[in-house]
Structure 1
Amino acid sequence: MPRPQPLPFAFAALHGADQLALAALPLVATLQLGAGPGLTGALVAAQGAAWLLVALPAGVLADRLDRRRLLAGGGLVAALGFALALAAAAHPLLLGLAAFLGAGGVVAAALAAFALLPALVPRQQLPAANARLELGRALATLAAAPLAGMLAARGLPQAGLGLAALAGLAAAALAWRLPALPATRRTDQMGLAAAVAEGARFVRRQPLLRAIALAAIAWNAGFFALMAIAVPLALGPLGLDAAATGLALGAYGAGLVAGALAAPTASRHLPLGQVLLSGPGLSVLGMAGLVLAPGLFTLAACMALLGFGPMLWQVAQTSLRQSVTPAGLLGRVGAVMQVAVFGVRPLGALAGGALAAWAGPAAALWLAAAGFALSLLAVAASPLAPLRTLPQPA
């Protein structure tokens, strides 16, 4: 079967649409609507809520429908939603609803893409193929905010929404260039709740997936606890100015790109268990440096390690998940994982912010470090650590 060259580009366009809209919404709210932080936060939350609320039904669809069609359809829905957001930029309620619709299309298409990949490449090539997807995601994340900011500086804050709509159309067009595939096992005899429960049971009973879920939940709680206090920490106790703060936090994106580029080599030359340990392990290392010697260099190094190591982890765990999950469950298993991770993120942010307000930013750093340490323990004490290669599917 030919290599699915269009899929990485479709995935990059899809994620670019999401990131462009995410960057444009606060700019539209602030510069065009004159909104304060309350409305701005509500608009961003409306878009982010799709990743939590749409994931489970979208995962069921990914296991019931032609995944190529779902990928293309999700791109079209994203384009429609972000185009409506552009048209409704002067009306906050409609703007939020349209952003939710656009992000919902992105969620459905992204789940379809990860569920589609194992049918397009041999199992041994999954790490390299997933690394190409993640590289596109990382580059889109790096480019979206500066591009939206440049347009806003020219008096066009809403133009980012238009570009997001075009990116959704590009993702849909690229999806149709993928090879046609046989239909997956149909599960439409089940109701939505039963179909979702089947995916959740598989994650709970599969020891490798259960360990991945626990490690991901702990890591994301720690990361968002850190993100809640990173800017106040940098501008306050660390004494950095805004430019230095942006430079230090931007090292995260550079780490993501470097990790995606290094992931194929790591998967070829290192045992799988070591690659999985590297994500939380490098995160603990980065946090140790920041806690023990806080400053510009250690903050930048920490953010770079938080991008690099967890990107290696992301590629490895996605490949492992695709390898051990039956084809008919890939969409729902991916959705269950996503909901677990996205559900804990606001809790981590709230905990980090509350602890920083009560006991100072240094205490919140220890909370983030504890989350990363628990993530490392979840991998080290599980069947993940001894793995050398991708296991055979059950």
Structure 2
Amino acid sequence: MSPPDRLKLPLIFAALHGADQLALAALPLIATLSLGAGPGLTGALVAAQGMAWLLVALPAGVLADRMDRRRLLAAGGLLAALGFGLALPLAGQPVLLGLAGFLGASGVVAAALASFALLPSLVERPALPAANARLELGRALATLAAAPIAGILATRGLPQAGLGLAALAGLVAALLAWRLPAPTALPRATQPGLGAAVAEGARFVLAQPLLRAIALAAIAWNAGFFALMAVAVPLALGPLGLDAATAGLALGAYGAGLVLGALAAPRISTMLPLGQVLLSGPGLSVLGMAALLLAPGFVTLALCMGLLGFGPMLWQVAQTSLRQAVTPMALLGRVGAVMQVAVFGVRPLGALIGGGIATGFGLPAALWLAMLGFGLSLLAVALSPLAPLRALPSLDQMRGLDQNRRRSAS
């Protein structure tokens, strides 16, 4: 891929994630400032947008394996622009506003899955970690910028303007997608129904030892992280005695860690064996939680959040590259969707359990629950075939592993 083309997909991904994050920041502001709503309606609007990651990912993954991924990427951007654009005139009608937010997020989901499935056809296998790092850097920067932009617009009496920017970002993503080089055409074969196609992707994840370990580690880590997120603000404002501004500064270290991790990932991937990079995500998370549990305060909260951004970003780049390397081209969309649903499905569960344990047993108990999730994630990597990996497996190695797996199954 030429240097200009190498930058297009990260720009597209940043625009898509920026659209999602702008809408996610704008919806609560609209609910609070324009509709005078309480936490119930605000939570419902956010949940409506988030449900797209659960309900749309599997069919979108099937589409990513059946159609031109560049076209799906462009169509997803257009759908995001349409959904968030429709939300503007519907801002005074909560139900329709939630549906429009869901529609816009559905476009983001489809386009994001298309991006990850498209990338291996645009770059050589050894270049996957650097290419994925560029994608994740765009995501991290969009995450950092979206909430402040939406907040500034709201302070000027324009909370709905965040939705307008989200629609514009989706449109930019769609236009850039059409300018990507055409990917290699997928082989046409007999296509099973939706359920059978999704099941094929799930079976591949369960049968492939590396993917299975990645899924287990991701599920455990996300359960722990969202248990922590459920109590982070009450912890900061309560026992730690921080004011809102100082608490925001400490929790904002997470975004800074994401950006630093994305910037460092290409270099670190060439310096350390792949297995050690994969261990760094849960390992640094355990270290950060240990610091917070042993000496709770502003510094350790900021350190913990920074490590929770930095280490898992290294993990994200490494595991995405590995997933793309070991998955057949025709299954990339469905495998990505299965992973996505598993991770997003456990997030609300982790938050609910974390909040419930904090209510029943106190905030420290919820912190120990988060530590348990991070520790299980570390064990899932350390005790799996991920830990000994030194580099991305070659195509010949993957063929050998697949033949061994088939012989064992028979």
TM exceeding 0.5? yes
Which of 241, 244, 248 is the equivalent residue of 2:243? 241
Equivalent-residue separation in structure 1 for 2:34 and 2:385 (angstroms): 53
Secondary structure of the residue that 1:294 maps to in structure 2? coil
Offset of residue 219 of structure 1: 0.1
Aligned match of 1:302: 304
Taking the aligned partners of 1:369 and 1:242, their CA distance within structure 2 comes to 25
Q: Does 1:96 align with 2:106?
A: no
**Residue 408 of structure 2 corresponds to which residue in structure 1?**
none
SS of equivalent residue, structure 2 residue 65: helix
Q: How do 1:101-250 and structure 2 match up within 5 A?
A: 101-186=103-188, 189-250=191-252
Distance 1:185 1:95 in 2: 40
CA contact under 8 A between 1:63 and 1:185: conserved in structure 2? no
Change (3 A) 1:188 1:361: farther
CA distance in structure 1 between the partners assigned to 2:245 and 2:363 by the alignment: 20
Q: Structure 2 CA distance, aligned partners of 1:106 and 1:9?
A: 14
Q: Identify the residue that residue 344 of structure 1 maps to in structure 2.
A: 346
Residues 118, 183 of structure 2: 8 Å contact kept: no
Query: Counterpart of 1:28?
Result: 30
Deviation of residue 185 (structure 1)?
Answer: 2.8
Counterparts of 2:203 and 2:186 in 1: how far apart (Å)?
Answer: 20
2: distance between equivalents of 1:48 and 1:186?
33
Structure 2 partner of 1:60: 62
- Give, as a single letter, the amino acid of the residue that structure 2 aligns with 1:385: A
Q: Distance in 2 between matches of 1:6 and 1:189?
A: 31
Aligned to 2:334: 332
Preserved CA contact (<8 Å) 2:230 2:351: yes
Deviations 1:339-386 (A, max 9, x none): 000000011001100000011100000000000000000000000000
Give deviations 1:218-244, integer Å, cap 9, x for gaps: 000000000000000111111111011
1:317 CA drift (Å): 0.1
SS at match of 1:323: helix
Aligned counterpart in structure 1 of residue 289 of structure 2, from 249, 269, 287: 287
Superposition deviation, residue 111 in structure 1: 0.1
| Alpha-carbon distance in structure 1 between the residues aligned to 2:323 and 2:239 | 41
Whether the 8 Å contact between 1:63 and 1:187 is mirrored in structure 2 is no
Q: Counterparts of 2:9 and 2:232 in 1: how far apart (Å)?
A: 34
1: distance between equivalents of 2:211 and 2:281?
16
In structure 1, the partner of 2:390 is 388
Separation in structure 2 between the aligned mates of residue 31 and residue 127 of structure 1, nearest angstrom: 42
User: Which SS does the other structure have where 1:5 is aligned?
Assistant: helix
1:23 is displaced (CA, Å) by 0.2
1:27-72 C-alpha deviation (Å, 9 max, x unpaired): 0000011111100000000000001110000000000010000000
Letter in 2 for 1:353: G
Secondary structure of the structure 2 residue equivalent to 1:64 = coil
1:188 offset after TM fit, Å?
6.0
How many angstroms does 1:87 deviate by? 1.4
- Contact 1:279-1:313 within 8 A present in 2 as well: yes
CA contact (8 A) 1:186 1:328 kept: no
- Cα gap change, 1:356/1:183 in structure 2, threshold over 3 Å: closer, same or farther? same
Please state how far the C-alpha of 1:187 moved relative to its aligned partner. 5.5
Deviations 1:227-272 (A, max 9, x none): 0000001111111110111000000000000000000001111000
What is the root-mean-square deviation of aligned Cα atoms in Å?
A: 0.8
* Partner residue, 2:50: 48
- CA 1:187/1:229 → structure 2, altered by over 3 Å: closer, same or farther? farther
1:279 partner SS: helix
SS at match of 2:372: helix
Contact 1:238 1:296 survives alignment (8 Å): yes
Question: Contact 2:64/2:117 (CA < 8 Å) preserved in 1?
Answer: yes
Q: Which amino acid aligns with 2:9?
A: L
Q: Is the 8 A contact 1:128 1:263 kept in 2?
A: yes
- 5+ residue gaps, structure 1, are none
* Rounded Cα–Cα distance in structure 1 between residues aligned with 2:362 and 2:328: 47
Return the letter of the residue paired with 1:373. G
Q: What amino acid is aligned across from residue 291 of structure 2 in structure 1?
A: G
**Among residues 360, 363, 367, which one is paired with 1:361 in the alignment?**
363
CA distance in 2, matches of 1:304, 1:284: 12
How far apart, CA to CA, are the structure 1 residues paired with 2:303 and 2:332? 35
Q: 1:126 to 1:148 in 2, by over 3 A?
A: same
SS at match of 2:88: helix
The TM-score with structure 2 as length reference comes to 0.95
Residue type at the aligned position of 1:303: M
Aligned position for 1:375: 377
For structure 2, the residue ranges without an aligned partner over 5 or more in a row are: 399-410
Number of aligned residue pairs: give it: 394
TM-score (norm 1): 0.99
Instruction: Give how far 1:309 is off.
Output: 0.1
| Alpha-carbon distance in structure 2 between the residues aligned to 1:131 and 1:381 | 26
Aligned to 2:401: none
SS at match of 2:192: coil
Distance 1:261 1:99 in 2: 31
